[in-house]
């Protein structure tokens, strides 16, 4: 039988070999790693093998036995007094390892031997966080039965429910919703003690339906779903029962407050602000997002160009005055100056928001000013690009009637018609195509040229550049892109 290596007696000291062989491991570690129960018992019988001795990563023999899934070895170590809540260098206990790896039998054994359900790892996560992350519903039940707190947030400000919804582990989601409702009911004050009526919380079936719908296209947290659909009653429940954070969000998606503002849900905005949401957070402003964009486009990206858009700027851009007032009252900072004049910016925003009556009024005031109609803003986007992408057909018709250039291209090479096709605005795309063809026919009939409809064959190099720019536009405007199409972006070669 091959002998186990014992430090000090024949241990390899060659640096090259030491990289392959962890010299911090003791015989008890090796036996636990391999699940050699007979050797474990022999070592324990011969004397004290120092069960709490840690390797270079802070792991005890119990950590190793749990991590490798050796149930019988875990039983032997626990029976001989191994510390059940020992922590490694990342503050992982044996229970955290067992939960993370979905080892139900070992989890039950550790809990039966008094393992704590509240230890925090270096990232602030509890075992319940890891159970929700992995979708291990039976393990989550075992932890909740031992008193695990479902509303604890990790350093990312995420709760167990956030991880379960983001990972689409619906059986765990149902369990956590039921547990949150039960605990709230048990702690609910009597009517005579209550300061006011409790909010009418949405039922589990409606919650599950909303969460399913809100995560179909891409992963979201429950608070993001509630903000997106304007479900303030669901928000109440997430705050009261699940302990969700008002700013909990994913790297690639805007925070709940921005979503509520963008979609015009005033009640949700008030609720988020009341619970301390960051009113000055700028979506798309993190260093990680800037690096992702630089890698994606192969451009050098100006730091100030990726400052992102705040919730207040979003409210002002979309003409949501009441919501902007709420944010200002909460202390939101005013937006910086924009490259366009105030009048041009307001007109562009009206077109993007689809306010046809206000657009018509402005055009009448300006007497069909083509400089206003064709003003090119950020990334060379005109009001026609903005209205076409949003699907505002009436606004598109007004702009075309007042001389909008249908061949104008964005920085990435997309016309308004291409943007309409990209975003499935079929009515807008059909109208622009027909208007362009009619303009071309008129130009041919008169022997002249029309900026709205005339086209000519591009040289191969320019055609290739146009193709690449169009593809870049498609990637940029994809729903999973970290910044929205309205944000200030500047690229240079």
The answer to whether the 15-175 and 342-456 domains have the same CATH topology is yes
* The predicted structure's pLDDT at residue 254: 84
| Between 380 and 294, residue with greater pLDDT | 380
Both structure tokens of 286:
């993190």
pLDDT at res. 374: 87
Q: Which residue has the higher pLDDT, 380 or 425?
A: 425
pLDDT at position 200, please?
53
- Distance CA(185)–CA(47), nearest Å, equals 53
pLDDT digits (tens, 9 = 90+) for 296-335: 444 443 333 444 678 998 888 788 889 999 999 999 987 6
In the numeric block, the tokens 């206003």 are attached to 372
What is the number of other CB atoms lying within 10 angstroms of the CB of residue 470? 18
pLDDT value for 14:
53
Q: How far apart are the first and last CA of the chain?
A: 66
| Angstrom distance (rounded) from CA 124 to CA 133 | 14
Architecture, CATH, for domain 342-456: Alpha Horseshoe (1.25)
Count the helix, strand and coil residues of the chain and give each as a percent rounded to the nearest 5: 55, 0, 45
> In the chain, what percentage of residues exceed pLDDT 90?
48
What is the average pLDDT value for the chain, to the nearest integer? Answer: 80
Predicted confidence at residue 198, as pLDDT, reads: 45
Residue 191 CB coordination number (10 Å): 8
Confidence band, pLDDT 50/70/90 cuts, at residue 202: confident
- Binning pLDDT at 50, 70 and 90, where does residue 368 land? low
Q: Would you place residue 7 in the very low, low, confident or very high pLDDT band (cuts 50, 70, 90)?
A: very low
Q: Is the pLDDT of residue 486 over 80?
A: no
pLDDT of 31 reads: 92
Chain-centroid distance, C-alpha 155: 15
- Count Cβ atoms within 10 A of the Cβ of residue 199 and give its class: 0-12 exposed, 13-18 middle, 19 or more buried: middle
DSSP string, 299-311: SEE-TGGG--EEH
Q: How far apart are CA 224 and CA 330, in angstroms?
A: 20
pLDDT > 90? residue 62: yes
Compute the distance between CA of residue 318 and CA of residue 261 in angstroms, rounded to an integer. Answer: 9
Report the pLDDT averaged over residues 341-349. Answer: 68
8 pLDDT higher than 90: no
Sign of CA dihedral 92, 96, 102, 108: positive
Residue bearing the bigger pLDDT, 491 or 421? 421
What pLDDT was estimated at residue 279?
93
- What is the pLDDT, as a whole number, of residue 138? 97
pLDDT in tens, 146-167: 999 998 999 888 999 999 999 9
477 within 8 A of 411, measured Cβ to Cβ: no
Summarize pLDDT for 459-475 with one digit per residue, the tens.
Answer: 444 444 555 455 455 54
Which range among 337-346, 371-380, 409-418 shows the weakest confidence by mean pLDDT? 337-346
pLDDT of residue 26: 87
Q: How far is CA 34 from CA 18, 28, 49, 489, in A?
A: 19, 10, 17, 55
Q: Which of 379, 308, 302, 327 is nearest to 348 (CA)?
A: 379
| Residue 285 pLDDT | 45
Rounded to whole angstroms, how far apart are CA atoms 453 and 440? 4
Alpha helices of 167-265 — where are they, by DSSP H? 170-187, 204-214, 222-229, 232-237, 256-262
pLDDT at 52: 86
pLDDT at 185: 79
DSSP letter assigned to residue 282? E
Question: Which region holds residue 299: left if phi is over 0, alpha if psi is between -120 and 50, else beta?
Answer: beta
Rounded to two decimals, what is the model's pTM? 0.63
DSSP state letters, 375-395: ---GGG--HHHHHHHHT-HHH
Q: Where are the domains of the chain?
A: 15-175, 342-456
Q: Please tell me the distance from the alpha carbon of residue 197 to that of residue 123, in angstroms, as a whole number.
A: 38
Return the higher-pLDDT residue of 449 and 182. Answer: 182
Lowest mean pLDDT among 49-53, 363-367, 423-427, 460-464: 460-464
Looking at residue 343, its pLDDT comes to 58
- Structure confidence at residue 189 (pLDDT): 57
Give the H or E element holding residue 492: strand 491-492
Locate tokens 């809100």: which residue? Answer: 214
Phi and psi at 455, nearest 5°, equal: -135, 155
Residue 460: other Cβ atoms inside 10 A: 8
What is 15-175's CATH number, 1.25.40.20, 1.25.40.10, 3.10.180.10, 3.90.100.10?
Answer: 1.25.40.20
């Amino acid at each position: 039988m091959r002998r186990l290596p014992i430090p000090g007696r024949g241990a390899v000291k060659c640096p090259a070999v030491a990289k392959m062989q962890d010299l911090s491991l003791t015989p008890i570690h090796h036996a636990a790693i391999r699940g050699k129960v007979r050797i474990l018992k022999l070592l324990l019988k011969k004397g004290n093998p120092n069960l709490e001795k840690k390797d270079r990563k802070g792991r005890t023999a119990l950590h190793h036995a749990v991590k490798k899934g050796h149930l019988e070895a875990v039983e032997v170590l626990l029976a001989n007094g191994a510390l059940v809540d020992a922590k490694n260098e990342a503050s992982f206990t044996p229970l955290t390892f067992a939960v993370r790896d979905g080892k139900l039998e070992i989890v039950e054994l550790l809990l039966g031997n008094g393992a704590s359900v509240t230890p925090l790892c270096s990232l602030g996560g509890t075992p319940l966080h890891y159970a929700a992350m992995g979708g291990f519903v039976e393990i989550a039940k075992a932890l909740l039965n031992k008193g695990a707190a479902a509303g604890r947030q990790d350093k990312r400000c995420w709760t167990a429910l956030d991880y379960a919804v983001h990972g689409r582990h619906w059986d765990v989601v149902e369990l956590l919703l039921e547990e949150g409702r039960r605990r709230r009911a048990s702690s609910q004050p009597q009517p005579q003690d209550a300061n006011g009526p409790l909010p009418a919380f949405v039922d589990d079936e409606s919650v599950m339906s909303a969460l399913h719908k809100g995560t179909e296209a891409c992963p979201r947290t429950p608070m993001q779903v509630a903000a997106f659909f304007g479900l303030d009653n669901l928000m109440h429940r997430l705050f009261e029962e699940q302990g969700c954070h008002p700013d909990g969000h994913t790297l690639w998606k805007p925070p709940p407050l921005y979503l509520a503002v963008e979609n015009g849900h005033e009640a949700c905005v008030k609720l988020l602000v009341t619970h301390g949401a960051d009113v000055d957070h700028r979506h798309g402003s993190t260093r990680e997002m800037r690096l992702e964009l630089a890698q994606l486009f192969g451009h050098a990206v100006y730091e100030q160009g990726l400052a992102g858009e705040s919730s207040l700027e979003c409210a002002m851009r979309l003409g949501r005055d009441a919501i902007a007032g709420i944010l200002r009252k909460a202390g939101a900072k005013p937006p910086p100056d924009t490259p366009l004049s105030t009048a041009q910016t307001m007109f562009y925003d009206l077109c993007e928001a689809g306010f046809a009556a206000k657009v018509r009024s402005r055009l009448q005031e300006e007497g069909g000013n083509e400089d206003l109609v064709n003003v090119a803003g950020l990334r060379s986007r005109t009001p026609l690009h903005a209205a076409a992408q949003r699907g505002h057909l009436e606004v598109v018709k007004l702009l075309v009637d007042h001389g909008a250039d249908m061949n104008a291209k964005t920085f990435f090479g997309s016309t308004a018609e291409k943007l309409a096709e990209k975003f499935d605005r079929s009515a807008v795309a059909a109208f622009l195509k027909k208007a362009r063809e009619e303009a071309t026919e008129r130009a041919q009939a008169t022997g002249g040229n029309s900026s709205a409809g005339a086209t000519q064959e591009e040289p191969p190099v320019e055609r290739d550049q146009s193709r690449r720019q169009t593809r870049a536009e498609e990637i940029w405007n994809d729903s999973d892109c970290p910044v929205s199409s309205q944000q200030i972006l500047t690229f240079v070669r």
